[in-house]
């Protein structure tokens, strides 16, 4: 289900697909595509589903923002809230399809908390970006680093020297990146 698109999309859709969603606190607007949206016949409830083709996380745990990797369904819930103001109940689901399928849901106070947390982290990220102190997230055990070509040849030595500076620059996001949910 598209929203915030540059050009209108024809068809029977529940909203104007060109409306971008504001996150005023962070000075951001966004758009995207929701994998699946189910709306109750009464129009008072909606269920958002974000499908993942990967295996579910190894531990059975609550996933809200997933260290920033699962921000998508929270942003989708914010979009549905903006685009369908008559909807009172929103359920944001995350379904992993590989191997033993798993489903994680956010609703009610838990969803509200995840939305507030996401907004706070987005505000922090924008502040870091605007300060000019943007630093890569350093993970000791990362198998893949898309910044590899932009770093010095002796990556480990460079990252050791810069670790304190990186931690300082990213301090407002460290709680998100180190959380288990």
- Asked, for residue 169, whether it belongs to a domain, the answer is no
pLDDT tens for each residue of the chain, 181 residues long: 999 999 999 889 999 999 999 999 999 999 999 999 999 999 999 999 999 888 877 665 566 665 556 788 899 999 999 999 999 999 999 888 887 788 888 899 999 988 998 888 888 888 888 877 666 555 544 555 555 566 667 777 877 887 777 777 777 666 666 565 5
Helices (H), the chain: 71-83, 108-131, 155-169, 171-178
The per-residue pLDDT for 141 is: 43
- Note the pLDDT tens digit of each residue in 58-111: 665 566 665 556 788 899 999 999 999 999 999 999 888 887 788 888 899 999
Helices 108-131 and 71-83, axial angle in degrees (round to 10) = 110
The number of domains in the chain is: 1
Tell me the HSE value of 169 on the side-chain side, using a 13 A CA sphere: 17
- Extract the tokens encoding 108: 């009610």
The per-residue pLDDT for 69 is: 62
- Asked, for residue 176, whether it belongs to a domain, the answer is no
Rounded distance, CA 177 to CA 169, Å? 13
Residue 125 domain boundaries:
2-134
Number of neighbours of residue 30 by Cβ within 10 angstroms: 15
Rounded distance, CA 115 to CA 5, Å? 22
- Asked, for residue 17, whether it belongs to a domain, the answer is yes
Q: Counting Cβ atoms within 10 Å, is residue 46 exposed (0-12), middle (13-18) or buried (19+)?
A: buried
- Asked, for residue 54, whether it belongs to a domain, the answer is yes
Rounded distance, CA 48 to CA 40, Å? 12
Number of neighbours of residue 113 by Cβ within 10 angstroms: 12
Q: Any idea which residue has 């607007």 for tokens?
A: 29
- Asked, for residue 151, whether it belongs to a domain, the answer is no
- Asked, for residue 103, whether it belongs to a domain, the answer is yes
**Measuring CA to CA, how many Å separate 15 from each of 7, 12, 19, 43, 84?**
13, 9, 8, 13, 8
- Asked, for residue 21, whether it belongs to a domain, the answer is yes
The per-residue pLDDT for 128 is: 81
The per-residue pLDDT for 54 is: 82
């Amino acid at each position: 289900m598209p929203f915030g698109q540059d050009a209108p999309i024809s068809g029977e859709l529940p909203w104007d697909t060109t409306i971008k969603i504001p996150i005023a606190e962070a000075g951001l607007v966004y758009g995207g595509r929701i994998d699946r949206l189910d709306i109750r016949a009464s129009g008072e409830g909606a269920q958002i589903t974000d499908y993942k083709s990967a295996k579910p996380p190894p531990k059975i745990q609550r996933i809200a923002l997933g260290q920033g990797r699962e921000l998508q369904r929270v942003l989708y819930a914010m979009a549905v809230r903006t685009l369908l103001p008559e909807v009172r109940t929103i359920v944001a689901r995350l379904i992993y399809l590989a191997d033993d399928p798993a489903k994680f849901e956010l609703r009610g106070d838990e969803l509200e908390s995840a939305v507030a947390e996401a907004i706070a982290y987005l505000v922090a990220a924008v502040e870091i970006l605007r300060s000019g102190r943007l630093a890569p997230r350093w993970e000791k055990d990362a198998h893949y680093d898309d910044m590899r070509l932009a770093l010095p040849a002796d990556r480990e030595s460079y990252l050791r020297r810069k670790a304190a500076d990186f931690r300082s620059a990213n301090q407002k996001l460290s709680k998100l990146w180190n959380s288990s949910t």
